[in-house]
Amino acid sequence: MASTSRADYDAALERARTAFASWRAVPAPRRGELVRLFGEAVRRHKPALAELITLEVGKIGSEAAGEVQEVIDICDFAVGLSRQLYGLTIASERPRHHMLERWHPLGPVAIITAFNFPMAVWSWNAALALVCGNPVVWKPSEKTPLTALALQRVLESVIRDFGDAPAGLAQLVQGARPVGEWLAEDARIPLVSATGSTRMGREVAVKVAGRFGRSLLELGGNNAMIVAPSASEDLAVRAITFAAAGTAGQRCTTLRRLYVHESRYDALLARLRRAYASLRVGSPFAPDTLVGPLIDRAAFEAMQATLAAARAAGATVHGGERVTVAGHEAGYYVRPALVELAAPIEASERETFAPILYVFRYQSIEQAIDGNNAVVQGLSSSLITQNLSEAELFLSAEGSDCGIANVNIGPSGAEIGGAFGGEKQTGGGRESGSDAWKAYMRRQTQTVNYSSTLPLAQGVKFDVE
């Protein structure tokens, strides 16, 4: 698909700016109504949109449908939110004064998205930004232009029929890194929400900070799970296989490092190897497939290079080879890999966006938590245990240092109700539920004096004749 030209980009930004002037004055619950209607339209088109995700990204049917459901869920959330953009009233120290904290719309919000959630990530941002009074400008991954075009068309048709929504409210610009760079550098955009690799986030953050804009970064993960002595093996095996091999290992929250207590290691590894060998790798259109293809050849080559590096560092590798799928010979299908390690190596400390699970033994929960925290990324983490003390330690200030910490579920598959995001080199941003909406608004502290005198704060005297 052709990249948006600079002239067309500038025209899109001007349309968004014009739209902001009127959209910010539309009452928030009315803005929520637009998002409600958009969610309804997505419900109607759910099967077609899901099929397009499968076609373009290779997600299996149920995961593609789940992604569209996430779009619907965040719309529902945002509709409620549109009546709950609460500020505070604050006690003033001066007589007959009152103080308020109010939240106002910010301006056009740029949304740069990764290939692996080609609809959901945009919707987490767009649904909130729209009810907060902001136009949106979307630059999808250059690998997923079609899903973006389809979802954008659905929103545009709802905007067209709405009445008091300005025409330029939602813009789509297509292209690779250069178009993303235009957005990062553009002073017309007060907030750039960028999802992708840590490399990308580092470049965007510097550019946006250079012009004193705000960035909301959702970057790479290197997520761990701890399997404790009391863990249910059935639960652990299901949680591990979905989190590590689901979506062909191409989720930011994919399980990449597994810490197994030494008392459970041999039995669990044997069971995992059997489960991995039986995973159905194949066409994402086949109803019984669990693992579809990698996004492209570069992803396959990166996976093979990482496995070679692990072998060279002394690891034992099970699986990871290319799988030929009849009728899809050009696709890059792989058997998910299990990699046994005695200690972390360079490869296990970085994110390879493919189904590779590094497995370690541990002796104490403290040692396992240290392992969980010993990487530069800080997105998601989980612990499988029946032991309350271990669970509480893991969730405490001395526990996981990630943005997401789960007990008795895997690290992936978040719900939209919670704030989503991670610490350290995952970027620190929070999207989706809870109070993530505050990133899309500007806060204003207001003081009103309804007396006829002018007392100054802190008892300061400044009397003039």
Q: Which residues are catalytic, by number?
A: 218, 252
Round to whole Å and give the CA distance between 294 and 353: 9
The answer to whether 196 contacts ligand NAD (rule: CB under 6 A) is: yes
Token look-up 């966006």 returns 353
Greatest Cα-to-Cα distance within the chain, rounded to the nearest angstrom: 92
Residue 352 identity: T
Number of chain positions touching ligand NAD (CB under 6 A): 31
SS3 416: coil
Binding ligand NAD (rule: CB under 6 A), the pick from 156, 185, 203, 296 is 203
Residue 386 CB, nearest distance to ligand NAD (Å)? Answer: 30
Nearest one of 377, 337, 378, 379 to 354, comparing CA atoms: 337
Counting contacts by CB under 6 A, is residue 51 touching ligand NAD? no
Q: Distance between CA atoms of 399 and 301, rounded to whole angstroms?
A: 35
Q: Specify the DSSP element, H or E, that contains 383.
A: strand 380-384
Measured from each CB, the residue nearest to ligand NAD is 180
Which window, 77-85, 96-104, 137-145, 285-293, contacts ligand NAD (CB under 6 A)?
137-145
- Residue 227 vs 404, nearer CB to ligand NAD: 404
Question: Which residue's entry shows tokens 């959330």?
Answer: 77
Q: In this chain, which of 118, 220, 284, 293 binds ligand NAD, going by CB under 6 A?
A: 220
Per CB under 6 A, which of residues 341..360 are in contact with ligand NAD?
351, 353
* Residue 107 · residue 20 · CB < 8 Å: yes
For the CA atoms of the chain, what is the radius of gyration? Answer: 24
Using rule CB under 6 A, residue 197 touches ligand NAD: yes
Residues in region 252-281 near ligand NAD by CB under 6 A: 252
d(CA 225, CA 246): 15
Task: For residue 219, state whether it binds ligand NAD (rule: CB under 6 A).
Answer: yes
Between 75 and 111, CB nearer to ligand NAD: 111
Asked if 142 is part of the footprint of ligand NAD (rule: CB under 6 A), the reply reads yes
Told to check if 441 binds ligand NAD by CB under 6 A, we report: no
Please report whether residue 221 would count as binding ligand NAD according to CB under 6 A: yes
The two structure tokens encoding residue 17: 């700016």
Span from 78-86, 195-203, 231-239, 356-364 in contact with ligand NAD (CB under 6 A): 195-203
Beta strands 337-340; 333-334: pairing state: unpaired
- The least CB distance from residue 120 to ligand NAD, in Å, is 9
Least spacing, CB of residue 116 vs ligand NAD, in Å: 5
Minimum Å gap between C-beta 127 and ligand NAD is 16
Give the nearest distance from C-beta 336 to ligand NAD in angstroms: 17
Residues 306 and 354 sit within 8 Å (Cβ to Cβ): yes
Which amino acid would we find at residue 440? Answer: Y
Torsions phi, psi for 93 (to 5 deg): -80, -10
* Cβ atoms 303, 339 nearer than 8 A: no
Task: Check if the beta carbon of residue 114 is closer than 8 Å to that of residue 44.
Answer: no
Cβ-based nearer residue to ligand NAD, 33 or 431: 431
Binding site for ligand NAD (CB under 6 A): 112-117, 121, 139, 141-142, 176-177, 180-181, 184, 195-197, 200, 203-204, 218-221, 252, 351, 353, 379, 422, 426
